[in-house]
């Protein structure tokens, strides 16, 4: 018998939700089913809400220390999930992973330096470097057999003396790829050879589907550990993105001293009371909820795949190996990207992420968030089918 409910629809309107209350600003209309921003519509687990509520019973919310139990919960979770023995000294809170990327660029690069990304990929990987006056080097993924692989030959050719950082999405967003150890080792060897720092964004790490296992980049080789800064968080997994709960793991002494000194100097390494409490509760009590949520999301993915095969053959579902995001290949519809996005917004009344925002290779695609009730997903797919029937 299941312990948790993922079918009940939660009304998120008027809760200052980006996903809902931000529709009008982002899409020009608010009569859409929101399937875009990467948080889930499932209720945050009760064990997290209860832990936060218990703290609110105390009438003073003053400055807080970071208890030893916070670090213990992270280390135990990483050990149990990935057999990764992380030294407490390697861990520091950071105020968000996208913010963390900007901080790494400030510490380890200069304006005009180059940052390598592998599109199609999460768009802040491009936006943060560009807004910090760094240059983007594209190393597009190779599409193959309904998924993607890294192009190591092109990576080697693209690297020059101005390349300082590579940002890795592990697991990959939006493709939902769980990178295999050999690919990560090859990437580490190339970056180590050229003295390139790897930022490994592993925010979707826990969300691997049945049959797949996440491998932290820093664990694949001594080379990987020596050149990497890993970012993780319970926020996607346990639906607490509004509570900033990210942290960095830096095994290399030299990198760690430099990066952590910057965080400490600017007081960016101090989590709030609620971040500490939510992280501990998630990592101490979250395993059953995580397993049930992943099973529900995997069934949602199967539903979308089956629906498209039966009713919308012009859309091919790239089944995610991780996460609650699906990369939809709409190229067989033979629509321009502008017409494709208009179809979803103005005819199907659905808010998805426009594939072009993910960089080269994104045109013809849309990103669908399936972290929602099956009833909502069924309604969305029927609206999409009807919109295409009217074409």
Q: Are residue 222 and residue 293 in the same domain, yes or no?
A: no
Question: Quick one: angle between helices 124-131 and 97-108, nearest 10?
Answer: 40
| CATH classification of the domain holding 98 | 3.40.640.10
Q: For 106-118, what is the mean pLDDT?
A: 98
Q: Is residue 9 part of a domain?
A: no
The predicted-structure confidence for 289-335, as pLDDT tens digits, reads as follows: 999 999 999 999 999 999 999 999 999 999 999 999 999 999 999 99
Other beta carbons within 10 angstroms of residue 250's beta carbon come to 22
pLDDT of residue 391: 64
Q: Is residue 6 part of a domain?
A: no
For the full predicted model, state whether its pTM sits above 0.95. yes
The range of the structural domain enclosing residue 196 comes to 61-285
The tokens for 247 are 């942290």
Q: For 378-384, what is the mean pLDDT?
A: 98
Q: Are residue 273 and residue 214 in the same domain, yes or no?
A: yes
Q: Are residue 368 and residue 243 in the same domain, yes or no?
A: no
Instruction: Name the strand (E) or helix (H) holding 56.
Output: helix 46-56
- DSSP string of 252-321, one letter each residue: -HHHHHHHHHHHHHTT-S---HHHHHHHHHHHHH-HHHHHHHHHHHHHHHHHHHHHHHHH-TT-EEE--S
Domain boundary at 229, 259, 285, which?
Answer: 285
Q: Is residue 11 part of a domain?
A: no
Contacts of residue 243, Cβ cutoff 8 Å, sequence gap at least 6: 235, 272, 274, 275, 278
pLDDT of residue 119: 98
Q: Are 198 and 216 in contact (CB under 8 A)?
A: no
Q: Is residue 68 part of a domain?
A: yes
Percent share of the chain, pLDDT over 70? 100
Domain boundary at 247, 270, 285, which?
Answer: 285
Computed from CA positions of residues 236, 240, 244, 245, in that sequence, does the dihedral angle turn out positive or negative? negative
Q: Is residue 24 part of a domain?
A: yes
Exposed / middle / buried, residue 331 (Cβ in 10 Å: 0-12, 13-18, 19+)? middle
**What is the domain count for the chain?**
2
Q: Are residue 74 and residue 23 in the same domain, yes or no?
A: no
The predicted-structure confidence for 185-209, as pLDDT tens digits, reads as follows: 999 999 999 999 999 999 999 999 9
Q: Are 138 and 147 in contact (CB under 8 A)?
A: no
């Amino acid at each position: 018998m299941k312990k948790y409910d993922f079918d009940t629809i939660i009304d998120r309107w008027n809760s200052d939700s980006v996903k809902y209350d931000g529709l009008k600003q982002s899409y020009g209309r608010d009569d859409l089913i929101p399937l875009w921003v990467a948080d889930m519509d499932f209720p945050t687990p009760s064990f997290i809400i209860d832990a936060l509520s218990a703290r609110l019973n105390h009438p003073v919310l003053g400055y807080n220390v970071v208890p030893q139990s916070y670090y213990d919960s992270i280390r135990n979770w990483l050990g149990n999930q990935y057999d990764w023995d992380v030294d407490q000294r390697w861990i520091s809170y950071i105020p968000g992973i996208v913010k963390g990327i900007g901080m790494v660029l400030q510490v380890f690069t200069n304006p005009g330096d180059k940052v390598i990304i592998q599109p199609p990929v999460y768009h802040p990987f491009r936006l943060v470097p560009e807004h910090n006056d760094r240059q983007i080097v594209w190393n597009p993924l190779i599409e193959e057999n309904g998924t993607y692989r890294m192009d190591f030959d092109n990576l080697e050719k693209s690297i020059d003396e101005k390349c300082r950082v590579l940002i890795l999405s592990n697991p990959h967003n939006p493709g939902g790829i769980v990178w295999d150890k050999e690919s990560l080792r090859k990437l580490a060897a190339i970056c180590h050879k050229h003295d390139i720092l790897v930022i490994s964004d592993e925010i979707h790490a826990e969300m691997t589907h049945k049959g797949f296992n996440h491998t932290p980049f820093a664990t694949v080789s001594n080379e990987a550990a020596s050149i990497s800064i890993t970012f993780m968080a319970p926020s996607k997994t346990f639906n607490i993105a509004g509570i900033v709960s990210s942290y960095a793991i830096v095994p290399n002494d030299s990198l760690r001293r430099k990066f952590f000194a910057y965080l400490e100097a600017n007081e960016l390494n101090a989590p709030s009371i609620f971040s500490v409490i939510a992280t501990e509760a998630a990592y101490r009590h979250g395993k059953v909820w995580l397993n049930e949520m992943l099973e529900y999301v995997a069934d949602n993915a199967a539903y979308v795949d089956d629906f498209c095969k039966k009713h919308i053959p012009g859309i091919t579902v790239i089944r995610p190996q991780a996460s609650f995001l699906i990369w939809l290949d709409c190229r067989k519809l033979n629509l321009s990207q502008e017409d494709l996005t208009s179809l979803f917004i103005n005819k199907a009344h659905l808010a998805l992420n426009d594939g072009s925002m993910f960089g080269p290779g994104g045109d013809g695609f849309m990103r669908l968030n399936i972290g929602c009730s099956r009833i909502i997903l069924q309604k969305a797919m029927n609206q999409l089918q009807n919109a295409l029937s009217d074409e």
